[in-house]
Amino acid sequence: MKHNARNDLPATIIAIRLGDVMAQVDVELVGTSYRMSSVMTVDSLDELGLAEGDTVRVLAKAVNVLLMKP
């Protein structure tokens, strides 16, 4: 999938916190101790098939942090 985000960082999902409608996904950037979080709907989490331990790509653009599974 092509994108125009300038930041494309590999990360590992370290925690997922589920609510009724929204989920918070915490990641650690590969090779660092830096952590970031992304908030998305539970439906999006399920559609992406994200789980703890998965490797994702963090795409940061404007005020949004997007996760993308390779």
| Bridge partners (DSSP) listed for residue 24 | 17, 39
Q: For residue 66, what pLDDT is reported?
A: 76
Per-residue pLDDT band at 1 (split at 50, 70, 90): low
Q: For residue 67, what pLDDT is reported?
A: 81
Q: For residue 5, what pLDDT is reported?
A: 64
Q: CA of 44: how far to CAs of 6, 12, 49, in Å?
A: 23, 18, 8
Tens of pLDDT, residues 20-65: 999 999 999 999 999 999 999 999 999 999 999 999 999 876 666 7
